Amino acid sequence: MPSNKFPDSLEKRELRRQDARRLESFKLQNNLITGLSYCGMPSIEFLDIKAWRNHLHSVCALEFDSDNLADMRIEWDNLSLSLPIEFINADVLNYLLTTDKDFDIYNLDFYGGFVNRNKSGNPRCVEAIKNLINRQAKKQTSFILVATFNVRDTGAMEYLKFIDEIPKALKHGWENVEANCKAHRINHANCLKLCFPYFCWHVGMSNNFAVNFKNPVVYQSSATMLHFYAEFIYQPTALPTLTFSDVLVEIANRPLKRLKGLIEVTELRPPQILPASK
């Protein structure tokens, strides 16, 4: 079998185990007794599919490289996992921007970063995730988004611009805002830990989703990677009233974890933004 160009590691296996437990809970809470429909980039070895097999009922496997896709077909037959599968030879962002299908779980690796722009100046990953959320809302379907980013993308100015606006947005009623922002400005992982969940909450809320993130996890692989797990719960009735400031503060106060082997440590515990003293 051809080797995976993104090799496995203790950290990746532990994250799959953690997410497997979450998948089981999501499946039961949403009465998806037969399992979850999966869309993702399982690579030649199908490591996530094998780890989550008991929670799935179908697979949509995305692969851009046609040679890798041919190897995936061979390996899939060897695995005999007894799951219906559709192979898609496509760039993941193009697929998310054009498909009309909805799924229960997306497992997506965005090695090009989050806010990087193409030659036309468009942030394709941002638009693809917006499209994904909008499409799920039209189908009124709750879903899971597992997203992994290479934190060495080139979007530093976009992140910093957003963070620079936070003290202005929270100028009344909150303390310790600048110290929190300073901690998030330190590096790409810290910036993305703040900006990506807020983006997802904002787009999700606008489409009648309650968005629940677990603490993000950074780990070392072929590069420094940042792993997010989020559940988007569709609520056709009015969502509970959440103010911009309350959500932003909750996201900004969350820690960033680091996984070293099987040991999880705190990478960032930002100074906490607190209500202003009366």
pLDDT band at 88 (very low <50, low <70, confident <90, very high): very high
Residue 3 lies in a domain: no
CATH number of the structural domain spanning residue 49: 3.40.50.150
Residue 122 lies in a domain: yes
**The predicted structure's pLDDT at residue 118:** 64
Residue 24 lies in a domain: yes
Residue 2 lies in a domain: no
| 136 pLDDT above the threshold of 80 | yes
Residue 5 lies in a domain: no
| 12 pLDDT above the threshold of 60 | yes
| 41 pLDDT above the threshold of 90 | yes
Helix (H, G, I), strand (E, B) or coil at 216: coil
Residue 267 lies in a domain: yes
Total domain count, the chain: 1
First and final C-alpha spacing in the chain: 66
Residue 215 lies in a domain: yes
Residue 266 lies in a domain: yes
Tokens of 144: 């899971």
Q: Measured between alpha carbons, how far is 140 from 212 in angstroms, rounded to an integer?
A: 17
pLDDT digits 0-9 by tens, 206-232? 999 999 999 999 998 878 899 999 999
Number of CB atoms found within 10 A of residue 210's CB: 16
Q: In terms of residue numbers, what domain contains 208?
A: 10-275
Tokens of 77: 């037959």
Closest by CA position to 143, among listed 29, 44, 260: 29
| 135 pLDDT above the threshold of 60 | yes
Q: Measured between alpha carbons, how far is 162 from 183 in angstroms, rounded to an integer?
A: 14
**The predicted structure's pLDDT at residue 112:** 66
pTM score, two decimals? 0.93
